Copies of this chain bind each other. A is one copy, B any other.
Amino acid sequence: MSTSAPATLTDHLAAFRSAYDELKAQGLKLDLTRGKPAADQLALSDALLTLPGEGVFTDAAGTDLRNYGGTAGLPELRALLSDALRVPVPQLLALGNASLTLMHDVIAFAMLHGVPGSERAWGREETISFLCPVPGYDRHFSITEAMGIRMIPVPMNDDGPDIPSVKAALATDPTIKGIWCVPVYSNPTGAVYSEEVARELVSLAAADDFRIMLDNAYVVHHLTDWRPEAVDWLALADEAGNPDRVFVFASTSKITYPGAGVAFFGSSPANVQWFQKWAAFQSIGPDKINQLRHVALLQDAAGLAAHMQKHADLIAPKFAAVQEVFGRRLAPFGVGEWSDPKGGYFVTLTVSPGVAKRAIQLAAEAGVAITPAGSTHPYLSDDEDATIRIAPTFPTLADLNAGLEGFCTALLLAEAERATV
């Protein structure tokens, strides 16, 4: 952290200012905000543009997938993802094009109707609260806020949410009905939940209708050869005597096409039945032809793994660039601490308190867009003003490097300004 070397920073204030002025003069226009795949990653799935192919429109059982029906989704695609998600096929539904939609709709169903274990619809309760590990994913928080659910931040550690903080919140607040979790390569720190933390979460003393919103968005999105332990959340919850505690969400958004992928919902038999009961009013079945396309493209679990390796080959150099530039530019001044994720889509950079907004503003004025400070926290409010999310995948490597260099220039100035005050 910068506090370890404030003198150095102060000494360099003039040099940082002049470097920043030069940066501004370059008139850059670079964007490091978007957690989405680059065009070369999308091209890995371009076979989708002509699949499933002439005359191909039935599943293995011979069902015509062009028509209505099949509310659970294509069995072959559910089987393809079942191992990676650790959800048995009968409890895994393949649905529309976005897990965001499923997370939203599950909470909407809970608000309108309650979930198994609810005494009444959540919308009929005076107050509903969710635990939100921070830093976390802004779209989780915005769904929660839109539903009128109160958000309670809890700290995020390297192995998952801080369990003592979670327990302390639950012990004093009976309105808590859920917690957001991204268990593998968490957005935005890249943390991987340990099985021990998972066990703690499924065992918590909580309301009967307390739910873990398990957004497994990055479960197969490895950057290295290391593999996280494959935690079987549903089995752990069952063992803990809370079989209905976990809602699993996932999608192919960052496997194939973000706009034209397939999303998955998995849970206990009772929860799946509950979901299907309410979803039956909303849909006569998902786009099963698109699901067939995905089976044709990915083939099987091995095909999926090979496909994800191609993504890693394309984006691992971008994540390496973040480490290289931050290490070279920031470390000498003791500025910042940053995660070095082994998968997922983000790097979290922690700067000195009160510096994040200023650094991002300076970068923006020099034409380098960084995700707004606070977006990693409930209500877009990071009281420390210290957390910055870096999204390296979308720009080209050259643009990424230029953007990172520019951002470091802005950040160093902001840190030096603060150290000098």
A residues whose Cβ falls under 8 Å from a Cβ of B: 36-37, 39, 42, 45-46, 48-57, 64-70, 96-98, 100-101, 104-105, 108, 111-113, 123, 139, 142-143, 146-148, 253, 257-260, 278, 281-290
Contacts and interface: CB of A to CB of B under 8 A. Distances in A.
Contact of A49 (B57, B96, B101, B148): B57
A253 B55 CA distance: 19
A46 B55 contact: yes
A104 B147 contact: no
Contacts of A96: 96-97
A140 to B, nearest CB: 10
B49 A257 contact: no
7 contacts: A50-B50, A65-B259, A67-B258, A98-B284, A108-B108, A260-B290, A290-B290
A104 B289 contact: no
B259 A70 contact: yes
B147 A112 contact: yes
Contact of A46 (B54, B65, B70, B148): B54
Given A96-B97, A287-B290, A259 B69 contact: yes
A52 B293 CA distance: 13
B67 A36 contact: yes
Contacts of A98: 283-284
Question: Which of A42, A52, A98, A285 counts the most chain B CB atoms within 10 A?
Answer: A98
Given A66-B260, A68-B259, A257-B67, A146 B278 contact: yes
Contacts of A260: 65-66, 287-290
Given A53-B49, A286-B97, A66 B259 contact: yes
Given A42-B66, A67-B42, A282 B104 contact: yes
A71 to B, nearest CB: 10
B123 A112 contact: yes
B142 A281 contact: yes
A345 to B, nearest CB: 12
B56 A49 contact: yes
Nearest to A56: B49
B64 A42 contact: yes
A100 B284 contact: yes
B282 A100 contact: yes
Contacts of A50: 50-51, 53-54
Contacts of A97: 96, 286-287
A357 B148 CA distance: 46
Contact of A259 (B48, B51, B67): B67
Given A96-B97, A259-B289, 4 more contacts: A50-B50, A50-B51, A67-B258, A104-B281
A97 B65 CA distance: 13
A291 B48 CA distance: 14
Question: Which of A39, A48, A101, A288 counts the most chain B CB atoms within 10 A?
Answer: A101
Contacts of A282: 100-101, 104-105, 143
